[in-house]
Chain A
């Protein structure tokens, strides 16, 4: 109790100094027993994965967050996710993961996609926003891209018709489109967002994207307080580059979502800092928001210069998901302060620090 009031006083004092970073001042009343540690499956993955998940582990330790990790070693070349990993995720319901490298054209279906399909994680969420203190070309960016995660172009149904002619099927169903639209509007409603934009290419793919749009329109009618509009994907990318402030929440089918999320992440600061996660009805997997380039360059792994910020912010999202909002806030505040200060930044943000230095800075700023 006294620890909390000390924290509050410290925060008030800090605010008086004009740090400009918001801290909570409303008391959070937990249920008895909420402090019992929760198990979370941890998959370090390939490339920069082990580095950044290690960073998260260290910070969680330092914060005394009531979670413990069950680590499993999975690599992208495996043809299937090992059954014990799936067991663990089904039991714990929450997983934190680094990237799994998908070999290009290698005949191995992506493990990331497999995981999403098996656990039916139908919504992928990426939150792209300007971090104070990080200079980018675009200001006032605060976009959440909600992307349908199970069907669309990534259905994986391809075959060679005759030698030299290959077909790939894009499947859109009303069921999946409806539930992603519902999730998007619900998210907007619960997070006080004003506008939902549906991204599509229905002028060319009339039936497929037309079905997606129909579902969005139906759901939009049930949320009259939220503005709804539609935009064609190529125009959308152009507008993102020119005027990103017009977008708020965007709901998209699978492929466009991938592109839009990466573009939005790029204009707001890069993949190194954008949090995100995949959520389904029963499970949630948190990972780096926009994983362009798969798992990072090998050079970064060797020099330990991977940016842990994205996964740290994703783990803050995970803490909120697990109903530990105060820990989430402390973590986020610390990370934002480190970025705002600008002294400890990895290479992709224009600095020269290593992963460990950023982690130490975050731990130092935790209060």
Chain B
């Protein structure tokens, strides 16, 4: 993904140089980002969201300031009425902001119920062309679940597949829903998955499918993954049928490293993996779009029942923020904040209610800042 940014800024000739070794690309990336180094802060869009959103966004801002991360937040809130330009509650200005800054952080948004407008997540996804959803799931040391050795990344195709929304009633009592798989989208997400594996030093990529039953659709997805796999001979590649994958995940999650899959399976598997490590309250996630757009988000709900009571757990949004920093190649600070979070949870002295402790959001945040 950083390669997209560099290529865009420096031009096509550099792509040949970038292609040779990742170390030289690192040099180019830092050149690319040099204009937004410690002197000028990077601008990023922040959507605090609803419910507990504003509190945890506040938490993120505090931690980032304490870690000297030079980010200038451009906050946008969900509107109270439908914006006709976007046909949703998200205003045109918010979308333009993300398109301009190329990075964003999003808190939980409660989609208002009703007809005649698009859901907020759908709007973001379609307008920003967010084609891959990346969710790293790893066991947090110090928070004990039944699974201790989970360390995997799920990469899910986010635009098509079963969620195209194309349904219709054929006759009364018979409904059809269309699942679409295209070569373009499958290639895109497969390329991203292997690139991610390479840049993060991952050894294996598993493509998850049900091509023994859905031969043409998942077959096409697998073909695309096969093609991309041939370009990365040093990354191990395997194909796993989805039901076998579910079974293996609950028996022995250490068998998997990077998982790439179409939309529906990705939805189910990524939530299953989140369950393995402790739930959605601790899981970061990042949506990647064309042109190097990255929108990190917290995937849990807005929890209106604890909103405003200083009880919310900011871990998911903080870890998503760390993913955002890694995308911006601010690896040193990302590592710092990440270790601080892990150590705070591992210590066990400051834990919010959902992790079994009694701390408030502000105490937890302060503990993380102290650990930096």
Contact = CB atoms under 8 A, between A and B. Distances in A.
Interface of A: 102-107, 109-110, 113, 137-138, 153-154, 156, 158-160, 163-175, 201, 204-208, 210-211, 233-235, 237-242, 255-256, 258-259, 261-263, 265-267, 270-271, 290-294
Residue with the greatest number of chain A CB neighbours at <10 A, chosen from B167, B175, B269: B175
Contacts of A204: 162-163, 165
B272 interface: yes
Contact of B177 (A172, A263, A271): A172
B267 A266 contact: no
A207 B168 CA distance: 7
B183 A266 contact: no
B213 A241 contact: no
Interface stretch (B89-97, B215-223, B331-339): B215-223
A174 B246 contact: no
Given A171-B175, A234-B267, A239-B275, A166 B213 contact: no
A207 B177 contact: yes
Contact of A170 (B179, B182, B184, B244): B179
B251 A234 contact: no
A166 B176 contact: no
Interface string B171-192: 0111111111111100000000
B224 to A, nearest CB: 10
Contacts of B176: 169-172, 208
Contact of A165 (B180, B244, B251): B180
Nearest to A170: B177
B182 A241 contact: no
Contacts of A104: 211-212, 222, 239, 241
A104 B211 CA distance: 6
B149 to A, nearest CB: 12
Contact of B215 (A105, A167, A267): A105
Residue with the greatest number of chain B CB neighbours at <10 A, chosen from A159, A210, A292: A292
Given A233-B268, A242-B275, A103 B212 contact: yes
Contact of A241 (B264, B272, B280): B272
Given A168-B216, A234-B271, 14 more contacts: A105-B219, A166-B217, A171-B176, A205-B163, A208-B177, A233-B268, A238-B274, A241-B146, A241-B250, A241-B276, A242-B145, A256-B268, A263-B249, A266-B248
Contacts of B213: 102, 110, 113, 153-154, 156
B167 A168 contact: no
B217 A137 contact: no
A206 B246 contact: no
Residue with the greatest number of chain B CB neighbours at <10 A, chosen from A158, A211, A242, A290: A158
Contacts of B178: 167-170
A112 to B, nearest CB: 9
A259 B246 contact: yes
A241 B271 CA distance: 10
Given A173-B175, A207-B168, A166 B275 contact: no
A311 to B, nearest CB: 17
- Name the 7 nearest CB pairs between A and B, nearest first: A238-B275, A174-B173, A164-B183, A266-B250, A234-B271, A241-B275, A105-B219
